[in-house]
Amino acid sequence: MGIFIEFALPIFKTISILILIVAYLVWLERKVAAKMQSRIGPYLVGKPHGLLQPLADALKLMLKDDSSPKNSDRLLFNFGPIWVMVVSLASFALLPFIFDNQMINTNLALMLFIAISSLIIVGIFIAGWSSNNKFALISVIRIIAQIISYEIPLIITLLVPCIIMGSLGFSEIISYQKNSWFIFYPIIGQITFIIFFISSLAEGNRIPFDLSEAESELVSGYTTEYSGIKFALFYLAEYVHLFGISVLGSIIF
Amino acid sequence: MENKIIEKDFGDLALNMGPQHPSTHGVFRLKLHLEGERINHVESYLGYLHRGVEKLSENLDYDMIPPVLERDDYLSPTSNSLGFINTIEEMCNIEVPERASYLRVLIAEMQRISSHLVALGTYGLDLGGALGGGASLFLYCFREREKILDVLETITGTRFHTNMNQVGGVRYDVNEESLKKTHELIEYLKPKLTEYFDVISNDEIFMQRTKNIGVISKDLVLSSGGSGPVARGSGINYDIRKNNSYEVYDNFSFEIPMGSNGDSYDRTIVRMKETLESIKIIEQVLSSLPEGALCSRKPLKSAKLLKPPKGSHYKAIESPRGELGFFIVSDGSSMPYRMKIRAPSFSNLSIVEKLLPGTYIADAVVILGSLDPVFGDVDR
C-alpha cells in the first residue's frame, strides 16, 4: 500500500492534470482560431463559451465504434496509438511543470527527455505502416524525414544553454536562471530561442510544418484509418507532446 | 484468394485520389502513379455525378428545361439557363425587351462574383488546410457570398437557383427595395474585394505555392479547348461577352483581365480581377436600367408551346468557367430532338492529365483547384 501511494499517486496526479490542461488548450486553440476567422467556435456544450466541449468530444470518441481496415496488421494497428500515448506521457516524468511535480530528478534529465520524446516517431511509423493505406504511408514517409531533419537543430539549440550553464539537469538549469532568463543572454539567447521555436513547431507537426497531415492532399495523414478511442489517443498524444516541448522551452529559456 | 496487384510500369505506387477526397472539389477520381512524391502518370475517371441532363431534356417542353439546367453548373445557375434561352431565342427569332436583358445581365454578373468567390475560398482550403490561413480566406469569401445570395433572394425569392430567365424575357422585376439592397451590396463588396485582391496577390506564401506551378502553354489551351479564366490566364484574349457579344454586354464598358504566364497564380488573379469588372458592370446596369416590359411573350400558363423550326443551332455564352455552349437539334416538335451541352469545366479539366506528370502531390491539388472545375458541369 505504501509503495502504491508513493509511486502510483504522483503518476495519477500528473496524468490527470496534464490531460485537463491539454483538453482546455485544445478548446482555447479552437476559440482563438475562430476569432481570427470571424467565427464563434464551440459555444453550445457548457453554456458560457462552450466550456464542456472537450469533455463532450472525449465522450463521443470513446463511444464510437472501434474499426480497423481490411488487411491491416491488427496487432501493430492497435499498438501504435498506445505507444505514442505512453511515450509522450512518459517524457513528463522528467519535467517539473506543476507544483514541484518532478518525479525523476537526475542531472541527465534533458538528455533523457530528448531520448524518450524522439521515440514517438516509432509509434507514428507503426501506425502509418500497419493501416494498409497509401495516404498514411506517404504521410509517414514525410513525417520521418521531417522529424529527423528538425531534431538535429532542436538538440543543438538545447545544448547551447547547457554548455553555458554547465549542467543537463533541470533543477540546475532553473536555479542558474534565478536572476535572469537565458533568453536575455546577449545575442546567443535570442538566436537559439528562434531556432528552437521554429524546430519545435516542426517537431510537434503544427502549421506551417503539418506536412504529415496536409489535409488537402493526404486526407488526414497517418490517422486516416483511425477512429474512436484510438484516434483520441493520437490526438491527445500530439497535444501532450506539444505541451511537453513548450514546457521544455520555458524551462530552458 | 491471392491478393495480387497488377501494375503497369508507371512508378512505385498507384494512389487513388478520390472520388471521396477533400480536394477534388466534388466527385472526381485521379489515379496518380507516383515515384516517391513525384507524379509519373495520371489517369482520370469521370462520371460520378452524371445525372443525364441532356437526355432528360429530350422529354421536356422547351419552357420546362431551364429550371432543370440550373442544377447543371450549380455554382452559377443563371448562366446555364441563360445560354439555353439565348439559343432558343435565336432559333425562334424571339425579341427580348431591353429591361429584361439588363436584368439578366444583373443576375448573371452577381452570380459570377459569387462563383468566383467560391472558387477563391475553396482554393484557400486547398492551399492552407482547415486551421491555417486558408480557412480564413474560405470563411471570408463565403461571408461575402452570403450577402450576394441575400440580395438574389430579395429580387427573385430564391437564394440560389434563381429561375430568373424564361424564353422571351425574365420572370421577376426589381423594385425600389431590391435596387436599394443591390446598391448597398455593391458599396459593401467593392472595398472588401479590393482588399482581398491586394492581400492575396502580394502574399509571399500564396505566390510560392502557385507561381510557376501548373503552367499551361497557349498551344495546350487551344488544342484542348480551354476557355474562361484558364485561357485568359495563359494570355489568350477570349471572352464571349466581348468577342461575340450576347444580351446587352455591348452597352457596358469593362475590361478583360489577362494573365501572361499561364500558371496557377495567373488564373487566380484573373478570377479576382474579373469580380471587380463584374462590379463595374452591375454599377452600369443599375445606373442605366431602362423602363419597359419584362417579357415579350404571354405568361407561361397561357403562352403557346414553343416549336422551333426544324434544324440545329449552336450558341455559346461566357459562364464564370468559360465557354458554355448549347447545341440544339429540333425536329419541329415542342421538345428538343437532341441537346448537347458544351461544358467549360469539362474541356478545362481535360488539361489535367497532361499537366500533372512531373509535378509533386502537393502541387496536384493546387493545379486542380486552379482549374476550378464544377462536377455538375463536367458530368452533366
For residue A217, give the nearest of B135, B143, B362 by CB distance.
B362
* Residues spanned by the domain of B203: 13-379
Q: A153: distance to nearest CA of chain B, Å?
A: 24
Domain boundary among A46, A63, A80: A63
One domain, residues A26 and A81: no
Cα–Cα dist A222/A133, whole Å: 9
Cα–Cα dist B218/B90, whole Å: 32
**A144 CB within 8 Å of a chain B CB:** no
Note the residue count of chain B: 380
Q: A87: distance to nearest CA of chain B, Å?
A: 26
One domain, residues A18 and A114: no
Closest CA to A162 of A185, A144, A132: A185
Per the prediction, chain B carries an average pLDDT of: 85
Domain boundary among A31, A63, A95: A63
- Name every chain A residue with its beta carbon within 8 A of the beta carbon of B205: 208
One domain, residues A122 and A200: yes
One domain, residues A41 and A80: no
Helix (H, G, I), strand (E, B) or coil at A231: helix
Strands B29-35, B13-17: pairing kind: antiparallel
Q: Is residue B7 part of a domain?
A: no
Domain boundary among A20, A43, A63: A63
Q: Is A77 within 8 Å of A135 (Cβ atoms)?
A: no
Long-range pairs of B210-213 with CB within 8 A, sequence gap ≥ 24: B210/B127, B210/B263, B210/B264, B210/B265, B210/B268, B210/B366, B210/B370, B211/B261, B211/B263, B211/B264, B211/B265, B212/B261, B212/B263, B212/B265, B213/B263, B213/B264, B213/B265, B213/B359, B213/B363, B213/B366, B213/B367
One domain, residues A118 and A179: yes
**A38 CB within 8 Å of a chain B CB:** yes
**A66 CB within 8 Å of a chain B CB:** no
Q: A220: distance to nearest CA of chain B, Å?
A: 10
Instruction: Please count the structural domains in chain A.
Output: 2
Residue B327 pLDDT: 92
Q: For residue B41, what are the β-bridge partners?
A: B33
Residue B329 pLDDT: 92
| Residues A107-126, mean pLDDT to the nearest whole number | 84
Residue B1 pLDDT: 45
Closest CA to B144 of B109, B191, B180: B191
Assign residue B296 the CATH number of its domain: 1.10.645.10
One domain, residues A18 and A136: no
**A70 CB within 8 Å of a chain B CB:** no
For residue A36, give the nearest of B34, B136, B364 by CB distance.
B136
Neighbours of A53 (CB within 10 A): 21
Each residue's pLDDT tens digit, A8-46? 777 787 788 888 888 888 888 888 888 887 778 787 777
DSSP per position, B325-336: EEEEEE-SSSS-
* Residues spanned by the domain of A76: 67-252
DSSP per position, B24-65: SSSS-EEEEEEETTEEEEEEEE--TT---HHHHHTTS-GGGH
Cross-chain Cβ contact A134/B13 below 8 Å: yes
- Name every chain B residue with its beta carbon within 8 A of the beta carbon of A143: none
Cα–Cα dist B22/B138, whole Å: 14
Cross-chain Cβ contact A138/B15 below 8 Å: yes
ipTM of the complex: 0.71
Cα–Cα dist B65/B63, whole Å: 6
One domain, residues A116 and A194: yes
Q: Is A138 within 8 Å of B37 (Cβ atoms)?
A: yes
Each residue's pLDDT tens digit, A55-111? 888 888 888 887 777 777 788 888 888 888 888 888 887 777 665 556 667 778 888
- Name every chain B residue with its beta carbon within 8 A of the beta carbon of A207: 129, 131-132
Q: Report which of residues B23 and A151 the model is more confident about.
A: A151
Cross-chain Cβ contact B136/A37 below 8 Å: yes
One domain, residues A30 and A137: no
Task: Give the chain B residue whose CA is nearest to the CA of A134.
Answer: B15
One domain, residues A40 and A103: no
Instruction: Please count the structural domains in chain B.
Output: 1
Each residue's pLDDT tens digit, B308-358? 888 889 999 989 988 999 999 998 888 899 899 998 988 888 888 888 888
Closest CA to B350 of B263, B251, B226: B226
Cα–Cα dist A206/A200, whole Å: 9
The residues, ordered by sequence, that sit 6+ positions from B291 with a Cβ below 8 Å of its Cβ are B99
One domain, residues A24 and A112: no
**B22 CB within 8 Å of a chain A CB:** yes
Radius of gyration (Cα) for chain A, nearest Å?
19
**B135 CB within 8 Å of a chain A CB:** yes
One domain, residues A122 and A144: yes
Residue A216 pLDDT: 61
Q: Is B132 within 8 Å of A37 (Cβ atoms)?
A: no
**Positions in chain B short of pLDDT 70:** 1-11, 128-133
